[in-house]
Amino acid sequence: GAQTTQLLVQPPWRPAVLWDQVTLTCQGSGTAGATTWYKDGQRLGQEGHQHFLVTKSGNYTCERPGSGLSPPVRVLDDPLVLQVPVQALLEGDTVTLRCRR
């Protein structure tokens, strides 16, 4: 199938929140130096870097030549958040939740 662009979130909790010092990594085909970043649909000045440290809440996407635009990642600035691990969960799995404020 066609290669797609993905955004990886560190630390790997969902939803992503500003006080976690979230770093996004854009993965896709083509060279990392050609990465374009967007926040809320607006192109950002951070050109050419595969990694992006988030400093403002919003919806982030990245674009790589050859694999297109990533699905969006939303970063919140909420004072109280219940977080779950990013990995897929199935019924019956043990899961660690995180409630922080």
Residue 64: CATH number of its domain: 2.60.40.10
Q: What is residue 60's predicted lDDT score, i.e. its pLDDT? A: 97
The pTM score is 0.85
Per-residue pLDDT tens over the stretch 12-62: 999 999 999 999 999 988 776 789 999 999 999 767 788 999 999 999 999
**Is residue 63 domain-resident?**
yes
Q: What is the pLDDT at residue 61?
A: 96
Per the DSSP assignment, residues forming a β-bridge with 82 are 99
Examine residue 88 and state whether it is found in any structural domain, yes or no: yes
Residue 75 lies in a domain: yes
Number of domains in the chain: 1
Among 87, 81, 84, 85, which Cα is nearest to 101's? 81
Q: Is the pLDDT of residue 8 over 90?
A: yes
For residue 1, is it within any domain? no
What's the rounded Cα separation, in Å, for the pair 27 and 6?
5
Give residue 35's domain range.
Answer: 6-100
Identify whether 85 is part of a domain: yes
Find the angle CA(1)-CA(51)-CA(9) to the nearest 5 degrees.
70
Is the pLDDT reported for residue 1 higher than 60? no
Q: Is residue 69 part of a domain?
A: yes
Residue 23 lies in a domain: yes
- Residue 59 counted as domain residue: yes
Residue 66: band (very low, low, confident or very high) from pLDDT cuts 50, 70, 90: confident
